[in-house]
Amino acid sequence: MFKSFKRVLLVVLALMVIGSGVIEAAVNHVVEPGETVWLISQKYCTTVSAVAGANNLANADLIYCGQKLLIPERHRVASGESVWLISQKYGTTVAAIAGASKLVNPELIYPGQILIVAGEQSGGDGAATQPSRGGRVGQLSQADLDLFARLVHAESAGEPYTGQVAVAATVLNRVSDSRYPDTVRGVIMQVWGGYFQYSPVEDGRINLPAAAAAYRAVEEALGGADPSYGATGFYNPAKTTNQWVRSQPVTTSIGNHVFFR
């Protein structure tokens, strides 16, 4: 009887934990003799790169006894939550959490999963460290927002989510660049040298409906996220023979895309 009651109690407690959302706020850990960043990361259900990024460790193998390390905030996914909802709760972005938590697909998370909550400047993991433009683009009309999302979808559907945000950021970076039109619609529809700047506009793929991820990527880019590191263009090396784009300074590579300015 007592054992049965104990089992029921444990199940209830487990469900309470899973449904509670937050698992633990950011804490400071004092390094003890014999500890490594990997051992510390396992203790707190995080990753080496997240701890290294949060503490600006140039070499995660070089820590010393008594050193204080900031352990990034973690979040246990509750039923019905999405990465987007979690990012809004903590004032960060989907790209930052996905990068720090090593999510291949931010759409696929499950109750009880532990996510590392990283800010754009916290350096969690790859995409979590990204500059911000500060959201300097004005309010878009719904028609322009839809056009923007359709372009991002047509150019980067199937790419990592961070790559979709980066594609959106390149459009906004062009808006700020004197070489290009000063509106999102103008950039997307620009014809230069007799050619559309974006192939989906030329071949009609721009008219296909955008997935929800593309809208979220646009929203993050409009809010200032820029995992492209200031790029004004991108290309897939396996699909282009354009020597001009290949000669431009590379800012980063995400998925199948190389970003340049």
Domains in the chain: boundaries: 21-128, 142-260
Q: Which CATH topology does 21-128 take? A: Membrane-bound Lytic Murein Transglycosylase D; Chain A (3.10.350)
pLDDT digits (tens, 9 = 90+) for 131-182: 555 554 556 888 999 999 999 999 999 999 999 999 999 999 999 999 999 9
In the structure, what pLDDT confidence band is assigned to residue 1 with cuts at 50, 70 and 90?
low
Four-residue CA torsion sign, 106, 174, 244, 228: negative
**pLDDT for res 128:** 39
CATH homologous superfamily for the domain 142-260: Cell wall hydrolase SleB, domain 1 (1.10.10.2520)
In this structure, which amino acid lies at residue 179? R
**Alpha carbon distance 192, 205 (integer Å):** 19
Instruction: Round to the nearest angstrom and report the end-to-end CA distance of the chain.
Output: 70
Of residues 171 and 96, more confidently modeled: 171
Q: Read off the tokens for 159.
A: 């790419």
**Contacts of residue 25, Cβ cutoff 8 Å, sequence gap at least 6:** 73
Mean pLDDT of the chain: 83
SS3 152: helix
In the structure, what pLDDT confidence band is assigned to residue 87 with cuts at 50, 70 and 90?
confident
In the structure, what pLDDT confidence band is assigned to residue 14 with cuts at 50, 70 and 90?
very low
**Alpha carbon distance 80, 255 (integer Å):** 28
Taking alpha carbons only, the member of 32, 70, 74, 31 closest to residue 51 is: 70
Query: What would you report as the CA-atom Rg of the chain, rounded to the nearest whole angstrom?
Result: 21
**Alpha carbon distance 40, 71 (integer Å):** 9
Q: Read off the tokens for 212.
A: 């929800």
What is the average per-residue pLDDT within 107-134? 63
Q: Spell out where 52-134 has E strands.
A: 68-71, 74-76, 114-116
